RNA sequence: GGUCCUGUAGCUCAACUGGAUAGAGCAACUGCCUUCUAAGCAGUAGGUUUCAGGUUCGAGUCCUGACAGGAUCACCA
């Protein structure tokens, strides 16, 4: 049992013994004492004044006195207004630290037997990835890592949207305008080549609409009748029929795109255990429609279309199958949900998808629960806000996007300039230096996108480059590099700072205690991050830890400290901070350098 | 119009899920490199938490209603 629970049990018995009143420990709560007050944990008395029938001050005094007498590690207490602040013996914090140091599994919780799938990325194969995808991919990857550290068995999945009218648009434009160019012949990455034709399609399509409107056609009608649109639709039909020429072009172009994507994923540092393709799954779900009709979850309208009535859940009626018997988006998603379960027997399923699809997933999850799926309660939509530009929303069709490949390359360039300006690459080989720029540039970018609460939409201003100072990835990386220098020096002079070097330690300073408390918090933060599916909890924590460490670093000397054991303790503490930073940053998909 | 999300320092974000005097970073200003990395540290300044009510010992947090921004409400995906 951890110290907090122990204290709660003691407070519970205090109520019993002092006021003859039963309060279950679970009904009580402690909070960390604010740092402007003396103490480590605070118990708020107001809710219990009815029980104590005494003033807040008097109640606090009685309970505090009881704890001080009964509990060995409680060293002191004070009461301010209705707040009972409890201080713990220094030896307790030293013990906590020793426990962390000698626990090789610290930061990795035991397996909990639950299997969870995290679906993220889910790109369309008609255009390259952009800034919005970066947020999606980094989030999905980080959440996967966080769940894993919490003891889940995690399967990272990617559902590739490789078919549909939008894919045909790129294909039509390619047929018309490419003269057979290939990524090699054009010297363009495959995904960018496909994207180029997607934009060209849209340009020509708009022109055609204008021409039709000028000729007197209604605008809505013109959108349907534009020649290239008709061709794209025909191509989709041919694709579904398996027309050889169309399928062959589709395979070729998708192949180029996959090659491009895998390069981008490599730079991003994300990966997947399973890839699903919509071309395989788009017909799934019809059997579920039949099942739903049978179970009375769905109903049929006179024209033959099938619906689900969700008005009792505060939503409306939603279509699940068209009158002509063909699928809609949600039909396919129902089928895919079952497929995922069939493949892996997952108990939870996380969908990392933008918040414009909140309604869709609300409907999907409610349907799967109505159908009584065993994984129904484990469905979760990790909904994140869009990344907007100062000019507004990004639109691939119109080419107003921040391209993922470009942005990542820019970040690495900025890291290069910055590092060279600071003159910090002495003793680095060419290769090591490039590696460092990569680490720092990607670190800055990932941290920038992950430190914000996922559900908030965020603004990205390309004119203002992402920071390397303050609450940033490089700040935390820098802290790690500093500690690495200390470890190198300790090793060099042969200092032993293992767990055994701490035996008999009997004094620690205020800053050191704060660091121990922060280290102890790591696993709690890890759980919060998993409960909320929010890497920002980890990011914020790592910043606090690094910040506190840097204060320690500036305040207290290590190698000029004369007492050998204090020296060993400070190195051990530094080492533990570095290890925690490394673990935490790994959860965010960020590497930490030994030198920078 | 209905539904959902968001609104905190000039800017970007926190606030332990209802607790004490709302905290960080950036930008501005002042100090600190002859001791382990100054991508750092210490400090100054910056707030009617969009507004108006309500709930209670206590509200940035919960409720109601405005206001502002965004998303969504297709037999599109």
Instruction: From the CA of A324 to the C1' of B13: give the distance in Å.
Output: 50
b/e per residue A493-524 (b: at least 16 CB within 10 A): eebebeeebbeebeebeebbbbbbebbbbbbe
Question: For B40, which residue's CA is nearest its C1'?
Answer: A550
At A335-384, the pLDDT tens digits run 999 999 999 999 999 999 999 999 999 999 999 999 999 999 999 999 99
The phi and psi torsions of A400 (rounded to 5 degrees) equal: -95, 65
Question: For B7, which residue's CA is nearest its C1'?
Answer: A456
Instruction: From the CA of A528 to the C1' of B9: give the distance in Å.
Output: 28
The region of weakest confidence among A51-55, A378-382, A549-553 is: A51-55
Residue among A408, A467, A443 at smallest CA distance from A596: A443
Instruction: From the CA of A531 to the C1' of B53: give the distance in Å.
Output: 35
Instruction: From the CA of A36 to the C1' of B23: give the distance in Å.
Output: 13
How far is residue A331 from each of residues A211, A362, A375, measured CA to CA in Å? 37, 14, 17
Average pLDDT for A511-519: 93
Residue among A526, A569, A570, A519 at smallest CA distance from A545: A519
Chain-centre distance for alpha carbon A537: 9
Residues in chain A: 596
Torsion sign (Cα): A497, A499, A505, A507:
positive
- Calculate the average pLDDT of chain A: 93
Instruction: From the CA of A553 to the C1' of B48: give the distance in Å.
Output: 39
Question: In the prediction, which pLDDT does A504 show?
Answer: 83
Query: From CA A301, how far away is CA A292, in angstroms rounded?
Result: 14
Q: What 8-state DSSP symbol labels residue A161?
A: B
At A431-483, the pLDDT tens digits run 999 999 999 999 999 999 999 999 888 888 877 778 899 999 999 999 999 99
Element housing A234 (H / E): helix A227-241
Nucleotide showing the shortest C1' distance to residue A557 CA? B36
Give residue for tokens 């279950």.
A24
Question: In the prediction, which pLDDT does A390 show?
Answer: 72
Average pLDDT for A544-573: 92
Average pLDDT for A167-175: 95
Question: In the prediction, which pLDDT does A506 show?
Answer: 83
ipTM of predicted complex:
0.95
Instruction: From the CA of A109 to the C1' of B37: give the distance in Å.
Output: 34
The region of weakest confidence among A167-171, A205-209, A359-363, A400-404 is: A400-404
Average pLDDT for A9-24: 92
Question: Who's near A383: CB < 8 A, 6+ residues apart?
Answer: A353, A354, A355, A357, A358, A361, A454, A455
b/e per residue A336-364 (b: at least 16 CB within 10 A): bbbebbeebebbbbbbbbbbeeeebbbbb
Question: In the prediction, which pLDDT does A259 show?
Answer: 97
Question: For B21, which residue's CA is nearest its C1'?
Answer: A36
Instruction: From the CA of A463 to the C1' of B61: give the distance in Å.
Output: 35
Question: In the prediction, which pLDDT does A399 show?
Answer: 64
Query: From CA A119, how far away is CA A280, in angstroms rounded?
Result: 16
The phi and psi torsions of A591 (rounded to 5 degrees) equal: -85, 155
At A275-326, the pLDDT tens digits run 999 999 999 999 999 999 999 999 999 999 999 999 888 788 899 999 988 8
The region of weakest confidence among A17-26, A242-251, A436-445 is: A17-26
Nucleotide showing the shortest C1' distance to residue A165 CA? B77
Structure tokens at A231: 């061709």
At A100-131, the pLDDT tens digits run 999 999 999 999 999 999 999 999 999 999 99
Question: In the prediction, which pLDDT does A396 show?
Answer: 67
Question: For B32, which residue's CA is nearest its C1'?
Answer: A554
At A385-427, the pLDDT tens digits run 988 877 767 776 666 788 999 999 999 999 999 999 888 888 8
Q: Which nucleotides of B are covered by protein (CB under 7 A)?
A: 3-7, 12-17, 19-21, 24-27, 35-42, 57-58, 70-77
């Amino acid at each position: 049992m951890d110290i907090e629970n122990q204290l709660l049990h003691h407070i519970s018995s205090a109520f019993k013994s002092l006021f003859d009143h039963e309060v279950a420990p679970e009904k009580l709560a402690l909070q960390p004492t604010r740092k402007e007050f003396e103490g480590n944990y605070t118990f708020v008395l107001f809710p219990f004044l009815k029980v104590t029938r005494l003033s807040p001050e008097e109640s606090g005094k009685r309970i505090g006195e009881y704890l001080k007498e009964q509990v060995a590690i409680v060293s002191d207490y004070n009461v301010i207004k209705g707040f009972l602040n409890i201080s713990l013996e220094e030896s307790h914090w030293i013990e906590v630290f020793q426990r962390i140091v000698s626990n090789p599994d610290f930061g990795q919780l035991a397996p909990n037997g639950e299997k969870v799938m995290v679906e993220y990325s889910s790109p369309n194969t008609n255009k390259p990835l952009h800034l919005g995808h970066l947020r999606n991919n980094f989030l999905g990857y980080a959440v996967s890592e966080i769940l894993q550290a919490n003891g889940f068995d995690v399967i990272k999945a990617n559902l590739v949207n490789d078919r549909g009218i939008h894919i045909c648009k790129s294909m039509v434009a390619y047929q018309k305008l490419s003269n057979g160019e290939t990524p090699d012949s054009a010297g363009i990455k495959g995904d960018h080549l496909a994207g180029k034709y997607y934009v060209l399609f849209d340009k020509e399509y708009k022109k055609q609409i204008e021409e039709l409107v000028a000729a007197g056609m209604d605008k809505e009608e013109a959108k349907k009748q534009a020649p290239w649109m008709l061709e794209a639709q025909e191509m989709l039909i041919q694709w579904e029929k398996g027309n050889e020429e169309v399928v062959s072009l589709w395979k070729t172009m998708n192949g180029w795109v996959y090659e491009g994507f895998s390069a981008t994923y490599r730079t991003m540092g994300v990966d997947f255990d399973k890839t699903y393709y919509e071309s395989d799954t788009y017909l799934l779900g019809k059997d579920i429609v039949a099942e739903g009709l049978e179970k009375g979850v769905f109903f049929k309208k006179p024209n033959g279309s099938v619906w689900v009535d969700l008005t009792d859940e505060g939503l409306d009626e939603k279509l699940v199958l068209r009158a002509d018997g063909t699928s809609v988006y949600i039909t396919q998603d129902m089928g895919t949900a079952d497929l995922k379960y069939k493949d892996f027997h997952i108990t939870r399923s996380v969908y990392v998808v933008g918040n414009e699809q909140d309604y869709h997933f609300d409907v999907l999850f409610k349907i799967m629960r109505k159908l009584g799926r065993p994984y129904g309660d484990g469905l979760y939509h990790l909904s994140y806000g869009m990344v907007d530009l100062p000019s507004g929303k990004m639109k691939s069709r119109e080419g107003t996007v921040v391209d993922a490949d470009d942005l990542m390359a820019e970040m690495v360039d900025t890291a290069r300039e910055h590092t060279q300006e600071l003159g910090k690459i002495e003793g680095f080989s060419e290769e090591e230096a490039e590696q460092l720029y990569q680490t720092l540039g990607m670190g800055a970018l990932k941290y920038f996108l992950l430190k914000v609460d996922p559900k908030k939409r965020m603004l990205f201003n390309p004119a203002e480059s992402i920071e390397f100072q303050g609450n940033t990835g490089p700040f935390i990386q820098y802290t790690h590099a500093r500690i690495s220098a200390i470890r190198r020096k300790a090793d060099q002079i042969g200092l032993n700072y293992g767990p055994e070097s701490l035996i008999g330690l009997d004094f620690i300073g205020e800053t050191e205690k704060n660091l121990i408390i922060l280290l102890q918090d790591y696993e709690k933060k890890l759980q919060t991050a998993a409960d909320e599916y929010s890497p920002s909890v980890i990011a914020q924590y790592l910043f606090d830890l690094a910040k506190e460490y840097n204060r320690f670093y500036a305040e207290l000397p290590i190698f000029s400290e004369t007492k050998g054991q204090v020296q060993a303790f400070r190195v051990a503490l530094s080492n533990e901070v570095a290890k925690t930073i490394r673990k935490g940053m790994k959860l965010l998909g960020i590497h930490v350098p030994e030198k920078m």
